[in-house]
Amino acid sequence: MSHDDFTVEPIKGLPGVPPEGEDILWQGRPNWWALSKDSFNVYWILGYFIALAAWRYLSLYQVEGTGYAAAGSLPLIVLGIVACAILVFIAYIQALMTVYTITTKRVVMRVGAALTITFNFPYNKISNANLGLRKDGTGTIAFELAGYNKVSYLVLWPHVRPWKMSSPEPALRCIDNPQEVAKILANAAQTQINTPQVARSTMDTSKFIAVD
Q: Is there a single domain that holds both residue 136 and residue 166?
A: yes
CA distances from 160 to 41, 142, 163, 207 (A): 15, 7, 9, 53
- 81 and 13, same structural domain? no
Spans in the chain with pLDDT lower than 50: 1-6, 197-212
Give the pLDDT confidence score for residue 61 in this predicted structure: 75
Does one domain contain both 14 and 71?
A: no
Q: Do 135 and 54 belong to one domain?
A: no
117 lies in the same domain as 186: yes
Q: Same structural domain for residues 180 and 144?
A: yes
14 to 32, 37, 40, 89, 164: CA distances (angstroms): 21, 28, 26, 25, 26
Give me the domain span that covers residue 21: 2-30+98-194
Burial of 81 per CB tally in 10 Å (0-12, 13-18, 19+): middle
Phi/psi for 58 (5° steps) reads -65, -35
- Report the predicted TM-score, pTM, of the whole model to 2 decimal places: 0.80
Cis status of the peptide bond prior to 158, with omega within 30 of 0: yes
Query: Are 166 and 65 found together in one domain?
Result: no
Mark whether 86 and 146 lie in a shared domain: no
CATH for 188: 2.30.29.30
β pairing state of 117-122 and 2-5: antiparallel
Query: Does 199 map to a domain?
Result: no
Look at the chain and report how many structural domains it folds into: 2
Within-domain flag for 74: yes
Q: Write the pLDDT tens digit of every residue in 158-172.
A: 999 988 888 889 999
pLDDT at 202: 42
